[in-house]
Structure 1
């Protein structure tokens, strides 16, 4: 099938591209040509006229982790739902408690999501080590694994949530609150600026760095090996150097993504909150990378925080 783009005057350019597909079929007795018109969205530009990336997340911050310099920000102090980004704090609380990572934990009815009705690849009755539960919670964002981690905490779920909020307070996260260990509760909130600090703290835990960036991992489920995949497709891209990653989504939060990455030989925190489209958070991350590596010269980085506050 051959595609030919229809021509239109620039003055009447539509918001979408019209593409006409034509196909010629030859038989012994006839030649038949069929045409199909398809309207495709126009490519979204990566940068505005000033050279700043056009990001679709409603709140974001990009910060140089070594200098502390903010390169980009928008609504960075606004507290909003963070969904499964909460699991970074869940992981820190588990590891701070120095619990036995080889202990077997079991998924029960108490771990089934009755708030949002989300599904899981961990059936009730599944038994895994605490380490594997932690890995699946971070890598595959398994809600039942995160729930089990809080149930098997000394003092149970309520003590675990208290420990999450105590940890947030100790880290100085003034816009951050937790009501569950999973992120399904819309009252789990934080600001993008707080999430830079939370990501920085989480990056000091080798297991969080490892588990959150594992591309694929298999565990025994219902008598057979089941493969789980990272919810951030970028960790499977060898062009990216990602040291820490976590995705999140509920209706109230939109698509969220936090990462600690190396761009232009600098450690960067990228926090993207409330992206509306399925691929928007990844597309925003790609725009940021392109901006840092090509649009932002090293000499300009020194003053970019004053140039690029996109509010």
Structure 2
């Protein structure tokens, strides 16, 4: 009898120790269906549209979730012309953010920058120009000379800057992009796809919103008496339009990465190789009209909002509040959304935990399709409980589980 008692106690202790190390189950993730590099997207949109797009390639997405509303030949590489400058501006704005240069820093113009043809802000050799004016020149009048000046100032040569552009493209998942220069001058090995342009545009707007302040300015005067005007045909014409970049060369045709925001709902449109300036504009307006008339953006969780709780088996506090790391929204149809669900996926948590530690994520789903996801953070510190408390807690959980199982079994027997 003593043998069986000892065996039972030993088995119980082994079970408790093992339970301390076995991770708790995690809710399985549904597949993410937002626009990402390499994801297959149904051509010609998610439903038949009441208009034709003349551009060879076109795409319409929402900026936060990257949900796709229209897609046409979005992975074929095309010459992007001056749309290239979105990447040039991104690297420059990141350099300012990282303290590598300042807005009022002075740049000395080189002969190579002065020699640039095409659109320019008419820089002179040896001229001293502020970083702010150079970035305005790139954004507002698409200045090729300013692109070279910024590149040389940051990395010593345009070639090294271009290397950084390609590295950044790889980092953010642009799979059909290759840069040979900072401005988009024609080169057989310089190309982007509509998907990559949309992803780059969304990334830049989300991480460097200052670009919209630059790109939405209508005119710029520098080194000449007359102002030069922003070539973006959406500005001052389309409601909420504030970017992003036009492009044209004989090889590229007419291109436009456009963006507009209405009622906290921002769309990005891309058209490549349009046959005319008129077609570029009409295609873009038709795409944006379709998006704004049929969809809207709904906030489902705000930054720092408590959205759930999680169990901490070895914490002094058994439960901890979870908060959203950032605002979370989803795109919904204007006539209403019936199948929208929220789901919390929690990591295996073990004390000690610190405020701000990542604890999982919250998912917004429609019919098991992930529309958006946001990280969940620990709201407050959780210290580790001592081993005695944890052991008693495990024992209590074990016997509570046995009692619940027995009660369920008894209930099932009575119902038979």
Contact kept in structure 2, 1:179 and 1:185, CA below 8 Å: no
Aligned mates of 1:119, 1:180 — CA distance in 2: 15
- State the Cα distance separating 1:263 from its structure 2 match: 4.9
- Deviating above 4 A after TM superposition, structure 1's stretches of 4 or more consecutive aligned residues are 293-297, 299-302
Specify the alignment match of 1:288 in structure 2: 287
Which deviates further from its counterpart, 275-284 or 260-269?
Answer: 260-269
- State the Cα distance separating 1:153 from its structure 2 match: 1.7
Contact kept in structure 1, 2:120 and 2:146, CA below 8 Å: no
Residue 104 of structure 1 is aligned with which of 103, 106, 110?
106
Q: Aligned runs of 1:151-230 on 2, under 5 Å?
A: 151-186=152-187, 187-203=189-205, 204-219=207-222, 221=223, 225-230=225-230
1:134–1:121 distance in 2 versus 1, CA, 3 Å? closer
- State the Cα distance separating 1:288 from its structure 2 match: 1.9
RMSD: 2.7
**TM-score normalised per structure 2:** 0.55
Could you say which structure has the larger radius of gyration? 2
Specify the alignment match of 1:298 in structure 2: 334
- State the Cα distance separating 1:83 from its structure 2 match: 0.9
Q: Deviations over 1:22-54 (max 9, x none)?
A: xxxxxxxxxxxxxxxxxxxxxxxxxxxx54321
Aligned mates of 1:122, 1:172 — CA distance in 2: 35
Specify the alignment match of 1:13 in structure 2: none
Contact kept in structure 1, 2:60 and 2:288, CA below 8 Å: no
Contact kept in structure 1, 2:262 and 2:292, CA below 8 Å: yes
Aligned mates of 1:263, 1:86 — CA distance in 2: 26
Aligned mates of 2:164, 2:216 — CA distance in 1: 25
1:144–1:77 distance in 2 versus 1, CA, 3 Å? same
Partner of 1:258, secondary structure, is strand
**Is there any run of 5+ residues in structure 2 with no aligned partner, and where?**
1-47, 296-332, 339-416
Specify the alignment match of 2:398 in structure 1: none
Specify the alignment match of 2:52 in structure 1: 54
Specify the alignment match of 1:79 in structure 2: 77
Aligned mates of 2:267, 2:337 — CA distance in 1: 12
Partner of 1:235, secondary structure, is coil
Aligned mates of 2:276, 2:162 — CA distance in 1: 31
Aligned mates of 2:121, 2:90 — CA distance in 1: 24
**Is there any run of 5+ residues in structure 1 with no aligned partner, and where?**
1-49, 303-311
Which deviates further from its counterpart, 257-266 or 191-200?
Answer: 257-266
Aligned mates of 1:69, 1:269 — CA distance in 2: 10
More strand by share: 1
1:121–1:265 distance in 2 versus 1, CA, 3 Å? closer
Aligned mates of 2:186, 2:143 — CA distance in 1: 15
- State the Cα distance separating 1:294 from its structure 2 match: 4.5
Contact kept in structure 2, 1:64 and 1:70, CA below 8 Å: yes
- State the Cα distance separating 1:156 from its structure 2 match: 1.9
Q: Deviations over 1:176-203 (max 9, x none)?
A: 1111001003332111111111001111
Aligned mates of 1:113, 1:284 — CA distance in 2: 35
Aligned mates of 1:268, 1:301 — CA distance in 2: 19
Q: Aligned runs of 1:36-55 on 2, under 5 Å?
A: 51-55=49-53
1:105–1:155 distance in 2 versus 1, CA, 3 Å? closer
**TM-score normalised per structure 1:** 0.72
- State the Cα distance separating 1:85 from its structure 2 match: 0.7
Number of residue pairs matched?
A: 249
